Amino acid sequence: MSPSGGSASITVVVPTWNGRHLLEECLDSLLAQSVPARIILVDNGSVDGSGSLVRNRYPGIRLVELDRNHGFTGAVNRGIEEAVKDGTDFVALLNNDARADASWLEGLLETMEDHPEVGIATSKVLRTDGRHLDSAGNLYSVWGHPFPRGRDELDVGQYDERAFVFGASGGASLYRMAMLAEIGLFDDDFFAYYEDDDLSFRAQLAGWKVMYEPRSLAHHRVAATSSKHPTLRRYHVTKNAFYLFHKNMPGRLYVRYLSRFGVGFLSLLAGTAKRRDFGALFPALWHIVVTFGPLMRKRRSIQEKRVVSDAYVDSILYHGVPPTHRYPFVRPRLRPLSQATDTS
């Protein structure tokens, strides 16, 4: 039963790739939720015994085993497709390197029930020390970089109010199935990184809102998987930063902010080159070139279906230099990260 006495059904999808050492804490936290939910674990071709652990210790959890690593997008899309078969109303995503407080799902569900215009509800995510923030929703800068609101700040209550935000972290959020049926699932071309910002952007363009719910808490071991594969991360971040802007930014805003995006993107390329990580840099640029045509076709389809105004989209963008980046010859003009985006 839902908190309001209804009968909304929830499915939680957990993607994993060689994360056996993380799974027990994550899955135990989901089994202890205050509202019932089905749990689907999607194993991205792990070779560390993750599947055996789930089969032996968690017989009530549905295990979907893929033949290889299909990325975050491939894993969660497969899990969502399984959830659709069950007729679920909402699907939640939780990273395998995260654990959820017992009322995590309950808080997200209450947000959805209070606000039918909200397609995505996202939670407060803390570092494992329980004191520092990992995310209080996501923001997207006109310089072309999404970033987590409040990351690395000491949590002293500055994000303890519900707020409309630009986007939601795919690592700890709840999605309305009616919205996903309308706008589609995660874009497999992203594979990993910024795919949640892309989905949030598409949701906003289609008229859905994204809301941050501070009473819903999750705890995250930051980069427990990605830190082991820095070249893979830089490759996907590079191509996906390009995809995110060119695919979703409405025409007039695209022209207005293209030069800023160019500076931000060149800064990203320069940082990768400075690290001499050419195994990430050149393949990413080549991939952008060969997929540019299909990317523009996706853009056309998305923009044709857009129902919100340029002014609304501009109101949910972050206009300063993102605090996670510094660009040469650009003087930062930041607005407080605790400030909610426009709620009109």
Residues 82 and 222 in one domain: yes
Q: What is the pLDDT of residue 328?
A: 59
pLDDT band at 7 (very low <50, low <70, confident <90, very high): confident
Q: Is there a domain that residue 338 lies in?
A: no
Separation of alpha carbons 162 and 111, rounded Å? 9
Tokens found for residue 296: 């523009």
Q: What is the pLDDT of residue 337?
A: 45
Q: Is there a domain that residue 121 lies in?
A: yes
Among 6, 73, 18, 80, smallest CA distance to 43 is for 18
Q: How many CB atoms lie within 10 A of CB 56?
A: 9
- For residue 68, pLDDT over 60 is answered with yes
pLDDT band at 336 (very low <50, low <70, confident <90, very high): very low
Mean pLDDT of the chain: 92
- For residue 344, pLDDT over 60 is answered with no
Quote the domain boundaries for residue 241.
229-316
Report the chain's C-alpha Rg in angstroms. 19
Indicate the residue among 194, 227, 260 that finishes a domain. 227
pLDDT band at 322 (very low <50, low <70, confident <90, very high): confident
Residues 310 and 256 in one domain: yes
Return phi, psi of residue 283, to 5°.
Answer: -60, -35
Residues 234 and 222 in one domain: no
Residues 61 and 198 in one domain: yes
Q: What is the pLDDT of residue 228?
A: 67
Q: Find out whether 321 and 327 touch, Cβ atoms under 8 Å.
A: yes
Angle 264-146-303 (CA atoms, 0-180°, nearest 5)?
90
Residues 172 and 258 in one domain: no
- For residue 5, pLDDT over 90 is answered with no
Q: Is there a domain that residue 84 lies in?
A: yes
Give the whole-number percent of the chain exceeding pLDDT 70. 91
Find how far residue 175's CA is from the centre of its chain.
Answer: 11
Residues 263 and 223 in one domain: no
Range in 59-73, 124-138, 316-330 with the lowest mean pLDDT: 316-330
Q: What is the pLDDT of residue 331?
A: 55
Range in 89-93, 233-237, 305-309, 322-326 with the lowest mean pLDDT: 322-326
Mean pLDDT, rounded, for 314-341:
67
Number of domains in the chain: 2
Q: What is the pLDDT of residue 3?
A: 43
Q: What is the pLDDT of residue 229?
A: 79
Angle 99-102-106 (CA atoms, 0-180°, nearest 5)?
110
Residues 212 and 253 in one domain: no
Indicate the residue among 211, 227, 243 that finishes a domain. 227
Whole-model pTM: value is 0.92
Residues 83 and 220 in one domain: yes
Q: What is the pLDDT of residue 246?
A: 98
Q: Strands 209-220 and 163-164: what pairing?
A: antiparallel
- Give the H or E element holding residue 200: helix 195-205
- For residue 341, pLDDT over 90 is answered with no
Q: Is there a domain that residue 323 lies in?
A: no
Q: What is the pLDDT of residue 323?
A: 85
Domain at 67, CATH number? 3.90.550.10
Q: What is the pLDDT of residue 6?
A: 55
